[in-house]
Amino acid sequence: MKKLCYFAVVFCFFYSLNVLTPICFGDDYVYSFVWEGHSMFIPMSEQVQRLSSFHDLFVSQWSHYFTGNGRAVSHTIAQFFLWMGKDIFNIFNALISVLLIMEIYWCANKGIITLAFKMGRFSFIFFALWAFTPSFPSVFLWLSGACNYLWTAVLLWGFLLPYIQKYYHFDEKIVNNNWFWLAMFFFGILAGWTNENSVCLLVLALFVFICVNRKRIEIESWMIAGLAGLVIGYALMIFAPGNFMRLSDQIKAHPWLTWETIAGHAALLFLILAYFHIVPWYFNLRSLYMLSGKNKENPGLAQEVFLAKIMCVLSFCMTFMMLFSPNFQTRSVFPGTVLLIITASILFRVQDEYSINLIKKSTKRFLCFIGIMYFVITTASAFYGSYYYREQINELVAFVKSSDYAKHNVIEVNSLRPVQDMISRLSHFHLINSTLSSNENDWRNVAFSRYYGIKGIRMVAK
């Protein structure tokens, strides 16, 4: 009963933040319409059609695949919820957030799916996602961003759970269902059709795992079928015609592979490390160093350490790859962040199971105190700042809906008032802030105008 209450509290935490986050100017408004077949940065036409049926959704995604980008799975989810409404999305997104915490726990628990959670470890994962995720609102709260990163992460790690379980139980047949291979094949297609900079490395890791161990372990049919599905899904995403059009647009807007671009991306990576990843990287590397001599004496411990090292390498590569991206957004490193948290969770479990003191009790108590203080301050600031922005946007939307003048004239509204600087700093990047342009022909302004059926809008400073 206590655990159920705890899960309910975590769900309510995510749900409350989702309720305080309205649909955001830009992508959310654009994807509320049937895709017109051109870059989203080109203002949509007056004849654009709002999503109103599954047929519209299919037509939109068909056009998007050939002219937008290859992430059909995530954008289908996003457009579905934009059609259904933000209220429905709030519920399901909070559930998916809790499910991701569970999946990270199961991955660190040798791939075994159980509801017998150790609440200390579960709490650490919840806190780690809050504290160590760069651009947390863009991943967990922004509708389009959540469908692209949070939902796809749940798909990907759910798919990988049987492989992790096989890694720990290589001499056993872990699935007796003869049709499981078919489910893994289709699940692999969905999982592969998710994220460009993470799936390619996971495909390589699974391929090497199967090839290297093909004589030592019993290779089950679902392992090959799942990997084949993952490759097919990844190919469908990467080689989508819309992906090449999107890449071309990004290169035009942001020069690719120049020293200036790489230097800018390197500076952003350094800031991500300094502000978010320094603690998990320090704990993981320090713990692996402490275990380096002990794992030779214990095969089980050696197996744990090897998997932790592999995950650290994958996390580094997934993040480092963004140096060579034409457009590097901080939310893009989320897959690497999840791997760091899984690695830390594995090491915490190893500490308990093998009675190895990776972190002193006094240090643990001190870090728990600091973590609680950090969580309380950032949470209070984030809730206050989110409410502050939500009220202003609700006021703007109410005015637009009730204004007959706006239906026939371009209206001018005051820009959103920024939250107090101290609140913004104390939230530690947990506030999402989107705005409109002072140009009524900007793509964001046009999408907003089409959504509410007004002639045009521009936002200017007081």
Q: Clarify whether residues 433 and 306 are in a common domain.
A: no
Q: How far apart are CA 238 and CA 40, in angstroms?
A: 19
- Does a structural domain hold residue 112? yes
Contact, 210 vs 163, CB < 8 A? no
- 370 in a domain, yes or no? no
Is 315 found in the same domain as 405?
no
- Among residues 359, 391, 415, the one where a domain terminates is 359
Residues 131 and 218 in one domain: yes
Q: What pLDDT does residue 217 have?
A: 76
SS3 457: strand
148 in the same domain as 45: yes
Residue showing tokens 């955001």? 24
Residue 428: domain span = 380-460
Q: Could you tell me which of 175, 98, 109, 106 has the C-alpha nearest to residue 140?
A: 98
Per DSSP, what are the bridge partners of residue 410? 456
Mean per-residue pLDDT pooled into runs of 10, the chain (462 residues)? 86 97 93 92 92 95 91 95 96 97 96 90 96 95 95 95 91 82 94 90 90 79 94 94 78 72 88 93 94 77 92 93 84 94 95 88 91 96 95 93 89 91 92 89 94 92 76
**Do both 202 and 277 map to the same domain?**
yes
Q: Which amino acid, residue 385? A: G
Residues 6+ apart with CB under 8 A from 302: 295, 296
Domain count, the chain: 2
43 and 167 inside one domain = yes
Same domain assignment for residues 300 and 389: no
In terms of domains, do 408 and 333 share one?
A: no
374 inside domain: no
- Is residue 292 included in any domain, yes or no? yes
Residue 151 lies in a domain: yes
What is the predicted pLDDT for the residue at 219?
Answer: 83
* pLDDT given for residue 174 in this prediction: 80
Contact 190, 233 (CB under 8 A): yes
The residues near 209 (Cβ < 8 Å, ≥ 6 apart) are: 163, 167
- Report the pLDDT value the prediction gives residue 179, as an integer from 0 to 100: 87
- Which of 299, 328, 359 is the last residue in one of the domains? 359
Q: Is 234 a member of any domain?
A: yes
pLDDT, residue 329, reads 87
Task: Give the C-alpha separation, 106 to 221, whole Å.
Answer: 23
In a domain, 368, yes or no: no
**Residue 112 and residue 72 share a domain:** yes
Domain termination residue (choose one: 330, 359, 388):
359
282 with 399, same domain?
A: no
Q: Are residues 407 and 341 in the same domain?
A: no
Residues 328 and 386 in one domain: no
Residue 245: what pLDDT?
80
443 falls within a domain: yes
pLDDT of amino acid 35: 95
Distance separating alpha carbons of residues 369 and 373, to the nearest angstrom: 6
> CB of 185 within 8 A of CB of 226?
yes
The pLDDT value recorded for residue 374 is 96
